[in-house]
Amino acid sequence: MLFFILKRVAMGVGLVLLVLTLIFSALQLVPGDPAVLLLSTGDGGAPSPEAVEKLREQLGLNQPLLTQYFSFLSGVFTGDLGESFRTSQPVLEAIGARLPRTLMLVVFATVLSIVIGVAMGAIAARRGGWVDTLVTALSSIGVALPVFVFGAVLILLFSITLKWFPAGGYVDPSKDLLGSLASLTLPAIALAVGFAAQIARMTRSAVLEVQTQDWVRTAKSIGLAPFTVFRRHVLRNSLTPVVTVVGIGFGTLLGSTVLVERVFNYPGLSSLLVDGVTTRDYPVVQGVVIVIALLFIAINIVVDIIYGILDPRVRRA
Amino acid sequence: MPISQHLRRHESRTAHRWIGAVAFGAASILVLAGCGGSADSGDSGSGSQTLTFGLSAEPATPITGMQQGGAVNQLLTMVHRGLMTYDESGAVAPGLAESVDTTDPTRYVFTLRPDLTFHDDTPLTAENVKNSLDYYRDPENGSQLAAGLKDITEITTDGDTVTITLAQPNTAFLQYLALPFAAIVPDASLNAETPNWVGAGPFEMTDLEQGIGLTVEKSDNYYDADDVALDSIEVKFYPDGEARTNALLSGDVDMIEYVPWENFQRVSDAGLTVDAQQGPFQYVQFNVTDGPFAEPKVRQAVAYALNRENAVLAAFQSNGAPLNGIVIPEDDPAYDPAAADLWSYDPEKAKELLAEAGYPDGFSATLLSTSQYTFLQDNALSVQEDLRAIGIDVTLDAPDWSTRVSKGNAGEYDIAVSGDAGVVTDPSYLLNWVVDSRNFNVGWGYSNDTLRGLIEEGLRSSDDDAKRDIYAQVAELWAEEVPFASINTREQAYAYNDKVSGFETLPGFLVFYSSLNLAHASVE
C-alpha cells in the first residue's frame, strides 16, 4: 500500500511538471499582451507605446522565453510563484487566501450532496413505488439542471424576493460566522444539486443490487433486524461505488465552482483563475493551475485509500 | 406475511427519520443564515454613514498617471484631487487651487488653498504640484496625460502659487487638470513601483482585501471635509454585471456603477434609481493601409449602410441613441447639431457609393469584435447584417477581449467595431482618431494632417465663433473622409437605492468620473 502511494505521488510530480510546461507554453501561444491589457479597458483610450514598453520591462516580459521559463520553474521549486501583474500581490499569498474559500464551498457542497444524495437514494431503493419514481425524476432534473440557471433561480427567490440570504459575496468566518454561513449557503446548494442527484442515482442502484446478494439473504435468515441488515450489510457495501462517485465528483465540483463563483460573486480560487486568464496575468494562472493539479492528484490518491478501507479486497490486490 | 408487514412498517419509520434529519439540517441552516443576514443589516443603520458601493471590476493596483481603466478611475475620484476638479454639473471648478488667474491665455497662475495636507499627514506644497505635473507631462513616464499637457513649457512656484506657461493657448487645458488621474500626489508616488493610493482627496484608502473589496474613509485633511457627509465607503468588487445588479436588488450594496443595459428596466421597475447619461460612443473603424477600405468612398458606403436604430436596440436594449456623425458636447462653443448628422441610413446610396468606388458586386472582409463584451458583439452582428445588405460579405472574428486588443494593435482586421469616449469633453478628443498612433482604438494606418491641423487650431482658438467655424470644417471633412463610421452613443448608468441622496451622474464623457460626486452624497 505504502509503495503504491509513493508510486502514485511520484507520478503526480511528473504530471505537475508536464502541466507546468503545458500551461507556460499555452500562455505564450495565446495572443494578448499582459502589459497592453493592464493599461487598457473596454472603454478608455489606448495606452502609449512608451507606457507599454516600460511595463513590459518591469514585468520581465521583455526577457527571452527560455529565461522566463526557467526562472518560473526555479521559482516554483523554491516555493516562489511570483507576483500578480495586476495587483503585485505574491501569487502564493493570493492562492493562500482563495483556496480555503473554494475548499470551504466545495466541502460544504459535498457534505450536502452526500447527506441528501445517499438519503434519497436509499429511500428510493427501499421504498420503491411512487417514492422511487419521484426521486428518480428529481435526480434526472438535478443532473440536467445547469448550475448557473439554478443559481440564478436561488438568487431571485432567496435574495431578491425573500431577502433571506445575500445575493453573493464572501464573509470571513473568523469575523462573522453566521454571516459567512449565510453567504455560503446558496452557492453550496447550487453547487450541490447536480452532485446530490448523481449520488442519489448511484446509491439507489447500488442498494438495489446489493439487496439481492447472498450475504444479505444469509443475514436476514439468521434473524437480524431488517434495519440492521440494511445498515450493516446493504448500505455499507453499496457505498463503495458511491465513494468513487464522490471522489470523482469532488474534482468535478472544483471545476463547477468556476460558474458558481461567478454567479455568486464568490472570491475563490476559480474566480482568481478566470480573472487571471482574461487579464493574461501569467503568474496567477500558472500558480492556480499548479495548485489545482496538485489537488486533483491528491484527491485521486485519497479516493484510492478510502476505497481500500471500505473494501479489503483492494488492499490485498 | 407478518414478516413483510413488519418490514414495511420499519421501512417507513426509517424513511421518516432520514427525511426528518435532512429537513432539520436544512431548516437549521436557513435559520442560522437568516439570523446572520439580519445582524448585518442592523449594523449599517447606526449613527455613522457608510455607503456600500458595487464596483464593476477588481481594480489593478493604481500606478501614478497610467491609463488603467474604469474601475481604477472610480477609486481615484475618491482618494485624489487635482488643481482643478469637476463640479456637480460637470463644469471645471477649482480643486486644490483656491483660484486660477488666466488673464493671459498662455499663462495660468494657481493659488493653492491654505494648509493642504496629504492623507499621510505630510503637507501638500506648490513643489508637489510642480513635481506631479512635470511627471505627468513627460512622455517617458507613460502617463496618459502627456498628450493633454504637451503645451506646457514651464512650471514655476512661488510660495503657495504655481505658474504654468503654455507654448500656445489651449482651451482644454483646465479640463485635463480636472481629471481624476491628474491628481497631485506625494513625490514618493511619482514612479511606477509605488501604488498610487495616497492623495489629498475626500476619502482615504484604509483597507484592501484582494478579490473582495476595499474601504475608504473620510479624510479630515481634505480641504472641503466639512461638506463630506459620508464617513466611509465600502467598495465591493463585482466583475459580473448580473451579480452586480443582483447585489443592488437584494440590498447587499446601496449603489452600483456600470449597470448592464439589459438590467436598466429591471432595476427601475424595482423602484431604484437608474441615473444614466449618454456618454461613450460606438463606431466602425477601418484598416486603411490597403484593400477596399483605403478608399474613402467605401468608408462612406459603410457609414450610409448602418441601420443605427437596430444596433441600439440589439446591443443596448434602446438605452442609447443612433449617432450619424461626431459628438460635440452641447455646452461646448463648437457645438453644432449638424456635426452629429453627417450620414443617414440609406442602403441605396451605400450601394451607389460602392459601385462608384469600383465594387459594384461588393467584396468580402473580416470584422473584428469581441465575445467578451456582449454589447460589442451585438453591435458587430448588427453591422454584419447591414453590410451584407449592400454586398459586403463580412466574416465575424470575435475572440476574447485580450486577443481583440492584440489584433487591434497589430492591425489584423479589415474593419472592427469599437466603443470609446473622449478623455475630456473638448472636441479636440477627436485628435485620437486622425493621428496614426498604431493602437487598437484607431483606424489602422489612418492619419490626416488637414483634420489634425484644424482640430489643433480649434484647441488654440479662444474665440467661440472661430472655434465653431473650425469644427464646421472638421465635420464637413469627416463626412467625406470617414476616419470612423459612428454607430451610436450609449447610456452609462449608476444605480442606487433610496437611502442614497445627493448623488448625480456627470454629463457626457464625464459620466465615468461621476464618483467625484460621492463627496456630496449621503446615505439615509
Contacts of A199 (CB under 8 A, 6+ apart): A113, A114, A116, A117, A118, A121, A242, A245, A246, A249
Pairing of strands B97-104, B320-322: unpaired
Quick check: A119 and B22 CB within 8 A?
yes
Q: What is the pLDDT of residues B246-256, one digit of tens each?
A: 999 999 999 99
Quick check: A181 and B69 CB within 8 A?
no
Residue with cell 482651451: B171
pLDDT value for A252: 81
Name every chain A residue with its beta carbon within 8 A of the beta carbon of B493: none
Q: How far apart are CA B309 and CA B301, in angstroms?
A: 17
Name every chain B residue with its beta carbon within 8 A of the beta carbon of A131: 15
pLDDT at A211 over 90: no
Cell numbers standing for residue B418: 469599437
All structural domains of chain A, each given as residue ranges with its CATH number in brackets, are 91-316 (1.10.3720.10)
Q: What is the pLDDT of residues B391-427, one digit of tens each?
A: 999 999 999 888 888 888 889 999 999 998 888 999 9
pLDDT value for A314: 61
B25 vs A: CB within 8 A? yes
Cell numbers standing for residue A127: 421504498
Q: What is the pLDDT of residues B155-182, one digit of tens each?
A: 999 999 999 999 999 999 999 999 999 9
Q: How far apart are CA B413 and CA B23, in angstroms?
A: 59
E strand or H helix at B430, and its extent?
A: none
Residue from B402, B417, B438, B490 whose CB has the most chain A CBs within 10 Å, to mutate: B402
Q: How far apart are CA A113 and CA A107, in angstroms?
A: 10
Contacts of A157 (CB under 8 A, 6+ apart): none
pLDDT value for A1: 65
Name every chain A residue with its beta carbon within 8 A of the beta carbon of B40: 166, 176, 179
E strand or H helix at B502, and its extent?
A: none
Quick check: A97 and B211 CB within 8 A?
yes
Return the minimum-mean-pLDDT range out of A3-7, A15-19, A161-165, A285-289.
Answer: A3-7
pLDDT value for B64: 94
Q: Quick one: closest CA in B to A54, which residue?
A: B142
* Nearest alpha carbon to residue A117 among A238, A288, A264, A256: A238
- Mean pLDDT of all residues in chain B? 89
Pairing of strands B484-496, B320-322: antiparallel
Quick one: DSSP state of residue B189?
G
Q: Quick one: closest CA in B to A177, which residue?
A: B36
Q: How far apart are CA B481 and CA B298, in angstroms?
A: 10
Q: What are phi and psi of B165, to 5 degrees?
A: -105, 135
Cβ-nearest to A178 among B19, B39, B60 = B39
B251 vs A: CB within 8 A? yes
pLDDT value for A248: 76
Average pLDDT of A17-34? 80
Q: How far apart are CA B191 and CA B161, in angstroms?
A: 25
pLDDT at A232 over 80: no
Cβ-nearest to B61 among A55, A88, A131 = A88
Q: Residue B398, Cα to own-chain centre: how many angstroms?
A: 22
Concatenated DSSP letters of chain A: -HHHHHHHHHHHHHHHHHHHHHHHHHHHHS---HHHHHT--SSS-PPPHHHHHHHHHHHTTTS-HHHHHHHHHHHHHTT---B-TTT--BHHHHHHHHHHHHHHHHHHHHHHHHHHHHHHHHHHHHH-HHHHHHHHHHHHHHHHS-HHHHHHHHIIIIIIIS--S-SS----TTT-HHHHHHHHHHHHHHHHHHHHHHHHHHHHHHHHHHHTSHHHHHHHHTT--HHHIIIIIIIHHHHHHHHHHHHHHHHHHHHHHHHHHHHTT--SHHHHHHHHHHTT-HHHHHHHHHHHHHHHHHHHHHHHHHHHHH-HHHHH-
Quick check: B247 and A169 CB within 8 A?
yes
Cell numbers standing for residue A64: 527571452
Quick check: A176 and B36 CB within 8 A?
yes
CB atoms within 10 A of CB B8: 13
Q: How far is A118 from chain B (nearest CA, A)?
A: 10
For helices B296-305 and B374-389, angle between their N-to-C axes, nearest 10 degrees: 110
| Angle, CA B355 vertex, CA B353 and CA B358 arms, to 5° | 110
Pairing of strands B392-397, B363-368: parallel
Quick check: A262 and B243 CB within 8 A?
yes
Q: Quick one: closest CA in A to B404, which residue?
A: A32
Return the minimum-mean-pLDDT range out of A39-53, A209-223, B359-373, B473-487.
Answer: A39-53
Name every chain B residue with its beta carbon within 8 A of the beta carbon of A203: none
Q: How far apart are CA A202 and CA B399, in angstroms?
A: 40
Q: How far apart are CA B485 and CA B281, in angstroms?
A: 11
CB atoms within 10 A of CB B217: 18
Quick check: A33 and B146 CB within 8 A?
no
Cβ-nearest to A87 among B61, B66, B246 = B61
pLDDT at B211 over 80: yes
Counted across chains A and B, CB pairs separated by less than 8 A come out at 231
| Three-class secondary structure of residue B457 per DSSP | helix
Show the DSSP H helices in B68-214 as ranges.
70-79, 126-137, 173-177
CB atoms within 10 A of CB B28: 10
Name every chain B residue with its beta carbon within 8 A of the beta carbon of A116: 22
Quick check: A265 and B405 CB within 8 A?
no
Q: Quick one: closest CA in B to A167, which residue?
A: B247
Quick check: A43 and B12 CB within 8 A?
no
Quick check: B402 and A279 CB within 8 A?
yes
Cell numbers standing for residue B87: 463640479
CB atoms within 10 A of CB A16: 18
* Nearest alpha carbon to residue B486 among B385, B290, B344: B344
B279-490 CATH: 3.10.105.10
Write out residues 335-394 of B within 8 Å (CB-CB) of A: 372-373, 376
Model confidence band, residue A317 (pLDDT cutoffs 50, 70, 90): low
Q: How far is A48 from chain B (nearest CA, A)?
A: 6
Contacts of B326 (CB under 8 A, 6+ apart): B339, B340, B342, B427, B430, B474, B475, B478, B486
Quick check: A181 and B36 CB within 8 A?
yes
For helices A91-127 and A269-278, angle between their N-to-C axes, nearest 10 degrees: 120
Write out residues 94-133 of B within 8 Å (CB-CB) of A: none
CB atoms within 10 A of CB A78: 8
pLDDT at B260 over 90: yes
B249 vs A: CB within 8 A? yes
Counting Cα atoms < 13 Å in the Cβ hemisphere of B365 gives 29
Q: How far is B189 from chain A (nearest CA, A)?
A: 16
Q: What are phi and psi of A162, to 5 degrees?
A: -90, -20
Pairing of strands B255-256, B84-86: unpaired
pLDDT at B18 over 50: no
Average pLDDT of A147-151? 89
pLDDT value for B234: 96
* N- to C-terminal Cα separation, chain A: 9
Residue from A43, A123, A132 whose CB has the most chain B CBs within 10 Å, to mutate: A43
Write out residues 138-167 of B within 8 Å (CB-CB) of A: 139-144, 146
pLDDT value for B69: 82
Name every chain A residue with its beta carbon within 8 A of the beta carbon of B437: 46
Quick check: B240 and A262 CB within 8 A?
yes
Cβ-nearest to A160 among B240, B250, B421 = B250
pLDDT at B437 over 80: no
Q: How far apart are CA B485 and CA B343, in angstroms?
A: 9
Quick check: A50 and B37 CB within 8 A?
no
Cβ-nearest to A159 among B146, B250, B407 = B250
Q: Find out whether B305 and B350 touch, Cβ atoms under 8 Å.
A: yes
pLDDT value for A303: 74
pLDDT value for B378: 94
Return the minimum-mean-pLDDT range out of A159-173, B74-88, B106-120, B480-494.
Answer: A159-173
**Of A292 and B471, which is predicted with more confidence?**
B471
pLDDT value for A40: 65
CB atoms within 10 A of CB B423: 24
Average pLDDT of B223-230? 95
Quick check: A40 and B34 CB within 8 A?
no
Average pLDDT of B260-269? 95
Q: How far is A105 from chain B (nearest CA, A)?
A: 14
Q: What is the pLDDT of residues B309-363, one digit of tens each?
A: 999 999 999 999 999 999 999 889 999 999 999 999 999 999 999 999 999 999 9
Quick check: B406 and A170 CB within 8 A?
no
Q: Quick one: closest CA in B to A49, which residue?
A: B142
Q: How far apart are CA B429 and CA B229, in angstroms?
A: 35
Contacts of A81 (CB under 8 A, 6+ apart): A75, A90, A91, A92, A95, A283, A286, A287, A290
pLDDT value for B16: 41
Instruction: Report percent pLDDT > 70 for chain B.
Output: 91
Q: How far is A19 from chain B (nearest CA, A)?
A: 23
Cβ-in-10-Å burial (0-12, 13-18, 19+) of B390 comes to: buried
| Angle, CA B436 vertex, CA B435 and CA B438 arms, to 5° | 135
Q: What is the pLDDT of residues B38-69, one digit of tens each?
A: 334 434 445 689 999 999 988 889 999 988 88
Q: Find out whether B57 and B256 touch, Cβ atoms under 8 Å.
A: no
Q: How far is B441 from chain A (nearest CA, A)?
A: 6
B36 vs A: CB within 8 A? yes
Strand partners, B84: B94
Name every chain B residue with its beta carbon within 8 A of the beta carbon of A170: 212
Quick check: A43 and B419 CB within 8 A?
yes
- Mean pLDDT of all residues in chain A? 83
pLDDT value for B36: 39
Residue with cell 461626431: B326
